[in-house]
Amino acid sequence: MTSEWGAENLYVSYGKIVALDGVSLSAPPGQVTAVVGGDGAGKSTLLRCLAGALAPDSGIVRRPDKHRLGYLPASSGIYPDLTVAENLDFRAVGYGMPARLARERAAEYLERAGLTSAAGRLAGQLSGGMRQKLAVIAAMLHHPELVVLDEPTTGVDPVSRSGLWWLIARAAAEGCAIVMATTYLDEAERCSSVLVLDGGTMIASGTAEDIVAAMPGSLRPAVAKPDGDAARRAWRRAGQWRVWDPGGAKAGQGERQGGDPITPDLQDAVTVAALAWGGAA
Amino acid sequence: MSSLASCVEVTRRFGTFTAVNRVNLEVGPGEIVGLLGANGAGKTTLIRMLLGLLSTSEGDVTLFGEPPSRQTRRRIGYVPQGLGLYDDLSPAENLEFSEAVFGPGATPLPDELRSYGRELVGSLPLGVQRRIAFAQALSHHPDLLMLDEPTSGVDPLGRARLWETIAEAADGGAGVLVTTHYMEEAHECGRLVVMAAGRVVAEGTAAEIIGGRQVVAVEAASWSAAFNALESAGLQVALAGRGLRVPGADPAEVRRSLGDLPAVVREVPATLEERFFELTEQAAASEAA
Amino acid sequence: MWAMIVKEFRQVRRDRRTLAMMIVLPVLLLVVLGYAASFDVKTITVAASGPQAGSVASILRAPFDVTRTAPDRGPSWARDQLRDGKADVAVVTGGARPHVLIDGSQLFSAKAALAALAEMQQRAPSGPGGTGLHPTVTVLYNPGLKTSNIMIPGLCGVVLVFVGTIITSLGVVRERQTGTLEQLAVMPLKPRDVFLGKIVPYFLVAAVDLAIVLAVGITIFGVPFHGSPATFGLGALLFLFVTLGIGVLISSVSQNQGQAIQLAVMTLLPQVLLSGLIFPLSSIAAGVRWIAYFLPLTYFNQISRGVMLRAEPITALWQPFVFLALLGVIVVTGATLRFRSYLAPAARERRPRKAAVQAQGAGA
């Protein structure tokens, strides 16, 4: 019996719409795995399958039983008309935590998330960032082995985001396996492995370095937007245009016409993967 | 350069609480200015004053050289975070409504969006919704664009496409003020304004704001052991792929806290985000003082 | 301004449920009211006891309709007929003068009976040999023929419907809107626990409401409560279970609170109009009356009026109890099934493709 959680070859469809097609994910303990993709890419569907809120049409999901799993759904899963403390209380009782342990741990987590002064406030009156911090604490309160977080940092201000990340890092350091969905690539870079989804398919996976190294073709700078067919393979970034050349040599492997190739980073690699999948090659 | 929008020593108080404190800000034609700040830093209040929705306690807000009014509103394209579109109307109908309100002479939907013309906005993917909201805001040729978190939730390729639209508008002479939480996007802006505790604490390009600051990076064989060691030494630690970063500490201190743990300790350039926190914390500290 | 008008029209056109409410509902109401709204009593059922029971029918013509005769029974049998709701009027023969007992809890039948009797007196004044022509008339169970006495027991039911449908439907929809339903699905809670936990507080609220209505009715309006509180309580419990189940069903098909309230109102309105609360069942045209037999409030009205005004025993009330229980089973089963589909999706079987899901217990 392996202790590695994850999913293999998931297929999920809602009527005619295919939400996930052959997606696999591995969530080793003590590490944070990122799932990246835009709206509609299938991140939420994947995480729901992993957490057990949705049954896939086919495929295998390996997850612990409900007592050892924590979940943060896309819409926070927090009761707005209960206070911060009452929300945590509900979770504690729901997961069968003994009262004293629940109290102590809640106090500790609230302290670390900087929410102690807000303990008596209605959750609906918290700012977005504070509510997400509460939601993350609530998902981890019972020390689960697998924590599934659906976009915990989207729309959250940078200061709260760093607080959230601290909570996540802490849990990972204690051996928890964490899967989180995000649209921020700089966050994905912080995770030990990344899975990129687009339209329900995996378009890239591995560590950030692996994904960059696996990027096909090369990137060239351009002064202005190119015409014709190349326009579909070009995008603007930091005031500069870049064109993807699918068959080109990698940066540092000899010269071709045009400027020096740009050394790609994760954002470039992901953009290229999206273009390739969209048939721009 | 005649500015399209300007704030001069603008202050706004709510009772004893000062939300915006002597802020100076300018947006000129063709500029893309990024407004960065934590929640409660005063960004939203500032925007509301620029839009004319809120009056100032002190200082002057001018739009196109005059105080905000209904006339100046006609020349602004504003895309709030919630997009401001009616979910149960089609893009074409949304545009018709907007046109009727702002006056004739609106450009029609761009070609690639025309194919969505008949569907309800609520059923379209987020990236498309955002593009429609942009197209609508741009349709009456505003001189000033104000965008609140314009690309939140959109995938990298979609974000690049949205930024192309923004850049085109700026190239056409419009001034753009963008608020964002994405540090990646901060690099798209020609100029950044960082707010904390109601004040402007930094201004300039991303590189200028980072200003050569450095941060300690740690690569350890066992990152969780390193994490725990640094934590117990009271240092702030952040995850970075398979390694860790320790802002606000010097390499010697970090090496000491790690003790015998096998690790590589180096100094690397700080990210904009790390510099942003530093500034925010400094502002909070001086606020408390 | 024109732009706003056009926009609103377009939005309204798309919102099917609200459109249905605005257009279909008034039409439906008109049709139903047209057929249902009637206080006219077509027949007055009569039970006759005593030696001359057989001849009562020839004396009491339409609108009276003698449905039971029991020549060998006496006054207490006749009273029981009224008490158990088996007849609107009972005639006890065999004494010096015939004794007509009228069920005052059937307000309109009672008034019609009194009017008919008075008319008969007028047409054929008392004289020798006229049986039934100068009977003694007693109105039982609401001798004052007060409307409040029959309305308030019915209002008890309306209060329970309100709490049951509207508030329950909101309670569950709220979970869906804040995304907490998903969270519940993932926690180690059984769907049954969640369902019960959701409705128990409403039971208590409804019980309090009911107590208040009863207290006010009895103390301020002087409504009698002659019968067994236990029977009433049981009936209320059963009825509440049904309405709460309907509330949960409504919430399981509503995406937001607005829709939930619309549906709740659409179930409330027919119950108020067709359950016999305002218009007596017998007066409602048969073409529309059949709807009443699917409405829980119809049965609760029978129970509450029977128990409060006539001290009807539970044995006589077996029919409404059984129907309520039946409705209860149907509704609660439907509600729990829908609930379960939200809260235990991993247990769902999916068609064609083979699904293999291993949830490994990692040991406590």
Those chains having 3 or more beta-carbon pairs within 8 angstroms of chain A are B, C
Residue C343 has pLDDT above 90, yes or no: no
Is the confidence at residue A113, as pLDDT, over 60? yes
Q: Does residue B233 lie within any of the structural domains?
A: yes
State the pLDDT at residue B65: 87
* pLDDT exceeds 70 at position C265: yes
Res C359: pLDDT: 39
Going by their DSSP bridges, the two strands A58-63 and A5-14 should be labelled as antiparallel
Nearest residue to A25 (alpha-carbon basis) of A189, A183, A146, A170: A146
8 Å CB contact between A2 and A62: yes
DSSP annotation of C293 reads: G
Q: Considering only CB atoms, which chain A residues are within 8 Å of B82? A: none
Q: With 90 as the cut, is the pLDDT of residue A143 above it?
A: yes
Q: Is residue B71 part of a domain?
A: yes
Residues B123 and B195 in one domain: yes
Q: Give the rounded percent of residues in chain C with a pLDDT score beyond 90.
A: 11
pLDDT tier for residue B287 given thresholds of 50, 70 and 90: confident
What domains can be seen in chain A, in order of their start residue?
Answer: 5-205 (3.40.50.300), 216-263 (no CATH)
Please give the pLDDT value at position C361.
35
User: Is the model more confident about A222 or about C95?
Assistant: A222
When CB atoms are compared, the residue of C7, C14, C15 closest to B97 is: C7
Please give the Cα distance from A97 to B279 (Å, whole number): 41
Q: Please give the interface size between B and C, counted as residue pairs whose CB atoms are below 8 Å apart.
A: 22
SS (H, E, C) chain B: CCCCEEEEEEEEEECCEEEEEEEEEEECCCCEEEEEECCCCCHHHHHHHHCCCCCCCEEEEEECCECCCHHHHHCEEEECCCCCCCCCCCHHHHHHHHHHHHCCCCCCCCHHHHCCCCCCHHHCCHHHHHHHHHHHHHHCCCCEEEEECCCCCCCHHHHHHHHHHHHHHHHCCCEEEEECCCHHHHCCCCEEEEEECCEEEEEECHHHHHCCCEEEEEEECCHHHHHHHHHHCCCCCEEECCEEEECCCCHHHHHHHHCCCCEEEEEEECCHHHHHHHHHHHHHHHHHC
pLDDT per residue as tens digits for the range A46-60: 999 999 999 999 999
Please name the residue of chain C whose CA is at the shortest distance from the CA of residue B87: C11
Residues of B in contact with C6 (CB under 8 A): 96-97, 100
Please give the mean pLDDT across all residues of chain C. 81
List Cβ<8 Å contacts ≥24 apart for A136-140.
A136/A72, A136/A164, A136/A167, A136/A168, A137/A88, A137/A106, A137/A109, A137/A110, A137/A113, A137/A167, A138/A72, A138/A77, A138/A78, A138/A87, A138/A88, A138/A91, A139/A70, A139/A71, A139/A72, A140/A70, A140/A109, A140/A167, A140/A171, A140/A176
B256 shares a domain with B137: no
In a domain, B175, yes or no: yes
Whole-number CA gyration radius for chain B: 22
Residues B137 and B95 occupy one common structural domain:
yes
pLDDT of residue B114: 73
| DSSP bridge pairs for C136 | C99
Structural domain including B73 reads 5-209
pLDDT in the model for residue C127:
52
Q: Where is pLDDT greater, at C317 or A247?
A: C317
Judge whether B285 lies within some domain: no
Domain presence at residue B274: no
C-beta atoms of B277 and A159 within 8 A: yes
CATH number at residue B159: 3.40.50.300
Residues B166 and B74 in one domain: yes
ipTM field: 0.80
Under the banding of pLDDT at 50, 70 and 90, the label for residue B182 is confident
B253-257 mean pLDDT: 88
Mean pLDDT of chain B: 85
Cβ neighbours of C257 in A, within 8 Å? none
Please indicate whether, in this complex, the C-beta atoms of B88 and C15 are within 8 angstroms of each other: yes
Total Cβ atoms within 10 A of residue C251: 28
For chain A, the farthest-separated pair of C-alpha atoms sits apart, in whole angstroms, at 70
Please give the Cα distance from A149 to A77 (Å, whole number): 11
CB contact under 8 A, A274 and B40: no
- Residues of C (159-198) whose Cβ lies below 8 Å from A: 178-180, 182-183, 185-189
Q: Which of B230-239, C125-134, C273-282 has the lowest mean pLDDT?
A: C125-134
Q: CA B83 to CA B92: how far, in whole Å?
A: 15
Position A248 scores a pLDDT of: 65
Residues 215-274 of A with CB under 8 A from B: 225, 235-239, 267, 270-271, 274
Residues B171 and B238 in one domain: no
Chain B residues whose C-beta sits inside 8 Å of any chain A C-beta: 36-40, 81, 125-127, 149, 152-158, 160-161, 163-164, 167, 181-184, 187-188, 190, 223-224, 227-228, 231, 237-242, 271, 273, 276-277, 280
Considering the domain architecture, whether residues B237 and B152 belong to the same structural domain is answered as no
Mean pLDDT of all residues in A207-233? 87
Q: Which of C2, C10, C15 has the CB atom closest to B93's CB atom?
A: C10
Mean pLDDT of B274-278: 86
* Domain assignment of residue B286, yes or no: no
**pLDDT-based confidence at B162, cuts 50/70/90?**
confident
Q: Estimate the crossing angle of helix A158-173 against helix B272-288, to 10 degrees.
A: 110
Picking from A154, A174, A175, the nearest residue to B153 by CB comes out as A154
Indicate the SS3 state at residue C84.
Answer: coil
Residue corresponding to tokens 């003698």: C66
Residues B12 and B112 reside in one and the same domain: yes
Whether B90 contacts B120, CB under 8 Å? yes
Residues above pLDDT 70, as percent of chain A: 94
Across the interface, whether the CB atoms of A64 and C350 are under 8 A apart is answered no
Highest-scoring range by mean pLDDT, A218-222, A247-251, C178-182: A218-222
* Residue scoring higher pLDDT (C189 or C326): C326
Tokens of B226: 């390193």
For testing contact with chain C, the best of B86, B87, B88, B140 (most C CBs within 10 A): B88
DSSP bridge partners of B266: B217
Q: B242 falls in which pLDDT band (50, 70, 90)?
A: confident
Please indicate whether, in this complex, the C-beta atoms of C187 and A73 are within 8 angstroms of each other: no
Least reliable range by pLDDT among B134-143, C45-54, C230-239, C355-364: C355-364
Residue C18 pLDDT greater than 80, yes or no: no
Q: Clarify whether residues B187 and B226 are in a common domain.
A: no
Q: pLDDT by residue (tens digit) across C138-187? A: 888 888 888 888 888 888 888 888 888 887 778 778 877 777 888 888 88
CA-nearest of A76, A67, A191, A93 to A136 is A76
Among residues B185, B209, B233, which one ends one of the domains? B209
pLDDT value at residue C339: 77
Higher pLDDT, B172 or C14: B172
* CB contacts, 8 Å: A165 with chain B: 238-239
Q: Distance from C353 to chain B by nearest Cα, in Å?
A: 28
Q: Which of A190-199, B50-59, B139-148, C353-362 has the lowest mean pLDDT?
A: C353-362
Per-residue confidence (pLDDT) for residue C167, from 0 to 100? 77
Which tokens is B127 given? 């990236």
Higher pLDDT, A100 or A2: A100
Tokens describing residue B81: 């975070």
Q: Examine residue B98 and state whether it is found in any structural domain, yes or no.
A: yes
- pLDDT tens digit string along C202-251? 888 888 988 998 899 899 988 889 889 999 999 999 998 888 888 888 88
Average pLDDT value for residue range C312-329? 91
CB contact under 8 A, A38 and B127: yes
Chains that touch C (3 or more CB pairs under 8 A): A, B
Residue B279 lies inside a defined structural domain of this protein: no
pLDDT band at residue B106 under the 50/70/90 scheme? low
Sheet holding A218-222, edge to edge: A218-222, A240-245, A234-237
Q: What is the DSSP string of C85-128?
A: TS-SEEEE-SSSS-EEEEETTSHHHHHHHHHHHHHHHHHS---T
Do residue C10 and residue B100 have CB atoms under 8 angstroms apart? no
Distance from CA of B66 to the nearest CA of A (A): 31
Lowest mean pLDDT among A125-129, A174-178, A253-257: A253-257
Residue A48 confidence (pLDDT): 94
pLDDT of residue C336: 79
Answer yes or no: is pLDDT of C348 > 60: no
Calculate how close chain A gets to B88, using CA atoms only, in Å. Answer: 19
Percent of chain B with pLDDT over 70: 96
CA pair distance C208, C341, nearest whole angstrom: 32
Nearest-by-CA chain B residue for A166: B238
Question: For B53-57, what is the mean pLDDT?
Answer: 88
Which residue bears the tokens 């257009």? C23
pLDDT score, position C133? 55
* Mean pLDDT over the full length of chain A: 88
Whether the predicted pLDDT of A251 surpasses 80? no
Q: Which of A16-25, A97-106, B75-84, B97-106 has the lowest mean pLDDT?
A: B97-106
Tens-place pLDDT, residues C247-259: 888 888 887 788 8
In whole angstroms, give the CA distance from residue A207 to residue A72: 24
CB B206 within 8 A of CB B279: no
- Same domain, yes or no: B71 and B198: yes
Residue A58 with chain C: CB contacts under 8 Å: 353-356
pTM score: 0.79
**Cβ contact A275–B190 (<8 Å):** no
Contact yes or no for B52/B73 (Cβ under 8 A): yes
Beta bridge partners of C358: A62
Which residues in chain C are contacts of A51 at CB distance < 8 A?
Answer: 186
Tokens of C7: 């926009």
Distance from CA of B71 to the nearest CA of A (A): 32
Structure tokens at C352: 């064609």
Supply the pLDDT for residue C355. 35
Percent of chain C with pLDDT over 70: 91
CA distances to B132, C44, C46 from C66, rounded to whole Å, are 76, 8, 4
> Which of the four pLDDT bands, split at 50, 70 and 90, describes residue A42?
very high
Q: Which of these ranges, A53-57, A193-197, A246-250, C277-281, has the smallest mean pLDDT? A: A246-250
Question: For residues C26 and A216, which has the higher predicted lDDT (pLDDT)?
Answer: A216
Residues B134, B46: one domain? yes
Residue B71 and residue B9 share a domain: yes
Domain count across chain B? 2
